[in-house]
Amino acid sequence: MALLFNEEQQYLKDTAKEFVQKNAPINHFRELRDSEDETGYSKELWKQMAQLGWAGILIPEEYGGSDFGMMGLGAILEETGRCLVPSPLFSTALLGASFIEIGGTKDQKKDLLTKIAQGNLITAFALEEGSRHAPNIISTQAEKKLGDYVLNGAKTFVLDGHIANLLIVAARTSGDLEDNSGISLFLIDPDSKGLNRNRTIMVDSRNACEISFKDVQVPESNLLGELDGGLPIIEEVLERGQIGISAEMLGNALEAFDKTLEYLKERKQFGASIGSFQALQHRAAIMFAEIELTKSSVIGALNAVDENSNDRARFASLAKFKAGETLRLVSSEAIQMHGGVGVTDELDIGFFLKRSRVAEQIFGSSDYHIDRYATLSEY
């Protein structure tokens, strides 16, 4: 398994880097936050990203995508992670496209994947119901009545849920609370009667919301995948999501590290740059080594999906664990090395500390994934 991008993937990564730095630097993120924009992202920027083919990067060519694979999308997510770019790329191009491609009918794929590839559809995956990631613990109920399904329950931490045109909702159609069977997926119009969305202002300004369902009617034709058979689809997409967010977190860590190195060279104490102090050099060396290990873990996981490896679940947990630990280390050390000014809003470095704490919780914390890795490895 190659742990490097090939020529085409590297070209895509370089193109993404140039586009992001020109059109969505960190100042773009800061401006959206300070303006308290209702959507939390730029529609014009998302349109440009779709025109570049990013929205359809996992979508087969027959539906208007490029089918470039997770390695390609991972390269883009790393670059958007460097600048904390707020966009529906993760929720739609990765999660939404994967759900529909894996579980959708031919008609659903033709309709929805085409719209995603064109940048005309934003999706959000509503899974979490508690304070911690637990994909099989679903209490939201879907009961069949007069040919339709009626949903009742609530979801939390739904990424991009407040801007989505289509919700992909996990609900229990049979069985008990923690049963692996009996979970189904539904495609739901967010404007449905009885559905309420409440945007959550996250500490890192990431777009998320809480959703409640009260007697929400859903046509049987909006079932995604087989009835009671949603969990295998969820697990496969979650693995992609865990790897994708790990690629974004790698970009976060790389940018925080680069900014810290610049500061170590510029800041002077006792007539010398603080980067010449051996203690700080040692700490920077540790960060560099951990970032390089994370790169290998993330690229290995991206490759595992593209190669349909039987070990992709383990690769996903390894990447998410390592990315979480590394970003926590690098963002914390970056603040320490910047000193008091590091925690002020004047500098951008504080954004990465906040992002690290939120990103680590998306689809399982480092503790969750080290335990999952051990279980999958039969330790």
- Give yes or no: residues 248 and 349 share one domain: yes
Cα(132)–Cα(145) distance, integer angstroms: 32
- Give yes or no: residues 213 and 141 share one domain: yes
361 located within any domain: yes
- Give yes or no: residues 89 and 19 share one domain: yes
Strands (E), the chain: 123-126, 141-145, 148-159, 166-172, 183-188, 195-201, 207-219, 223-224, 268-269, 272-273
Q: Taking 90 as the threshold, does the pLDDT of residue 268 lie above it? A: no
Specify the CATH number for the domain of residue 204.
2.40.110.10
214 located within any domain: yes
65 located within any domain: yes
Which of 86, 121, 156 delimits the end of a domain?
A: 121
| Predicted confidence band of residue 379 (pLDDT cuts 50, 70, 90) | confident
Q: What are the pLDDT digits (tens) for 145-188?
A: 988 999 999 999 999 999 999 999 999 999 999 899 999 999 99
181 located within any domain: yes
Which of 121, 152, 173 delimits the end of a domain?
A: 121
- Give yes or no: residues 223 and 235 share one domain: no
173 located within any domain: yes
Mean pLDDT on 263-277: 90
DSSP type of residue 342: G
The percent of residues above 70 in pLDDT, for the chain, comes to: 99
State how far the alpha carbon of 354 is from the alpha carbons of 40, 76, 322, 343, 360, in Å: 17, 21, 18, 10, 10
Contact 169, 153 (CB under 8 A): no
- Give yes or no: residues 349 and 256 share one domain: yes
Q: Taking 80 as the threshold, does the pLDDT of residue 1 lie above it? A: no
Mean pLDDT on 253-270: 94
2 located within any domain: no
pLDDT number for residue 173: 97
Mean pLDDT on 211-240: 97
- Give yes or no: residues 255 and 361 share one domain: yes
- Give yes or no: residues 100 and 201 share one domain: no
- Give yes or no: residues 85 and 199 share one domain: no
Cα(105)–Cα(28) distance, integer angstroms: 38
Mean pLDDT on 310-324: 97
- Give yes or no: residues 236 and 224 share one domain: no
pLDDT number for residue 269: 87
Mean pLDDT over all residues of the chain?
A: 96
Quick check: helix, strand or coil at residue 244? helix
Contact 301, 246 (CB under 8 A): yes
- Give yes or no: residues 133 and 255 share one domain: no
Going by C-alpha positions, the residue among 263, 281, 245 that lies closest to residue 356 is 245
Contact 12, 6 (CB under 8 A): no
Q: What are the pLDDT digits (tens) for 49-98?
A: 999 999 999 999 999 999 999 999 999 999 999 999 999 999 999 999 99
Specify the CATH number for the domain of residue 244.
1.20.140.10
Structure tokens at 250: 């790698």
The percent of residues above 90 in pLDDT, for the chain, comes to: 93
Write the Ramachandran bin of 214: left for phi over 0, alpha for psi from -120 to 50, otherwise beta: beta
1 located within any domain: no
- Give yes or no: residues 236 and 371 share one domain: yes
pLDDT number for residue 118: 97
Domain count for the chain, please give it: 3
| Predicted confidence band of residue 320 (pLDDT cuts 50, 70, 90) | very high
Instruction: Determine the structural domain holding residue 58 and report its residue range.
Output: 7-121
- Please enumerate in sequence order all residues whose Cβ is within 8 A of that of 273, keeping only pairs 6 or more positions apart, or say none: 264, 265, 266, 267
Which of 70, 92, 121 delimits the end of a domain?
A: 121
- Give yes or no: residues 171 and 292 share one domain: no
pTM of the model: 0.96
pLDDT number for residue 45: 98
Structure tokens at 28: 């773009």
| Predicted confidence band of residue 221 (pLDDT cuts 50, 70, 90) | very high
Q: What are the pLDDT digits (tens) for 6-26?
A: 999 999 999 999 999 999 999
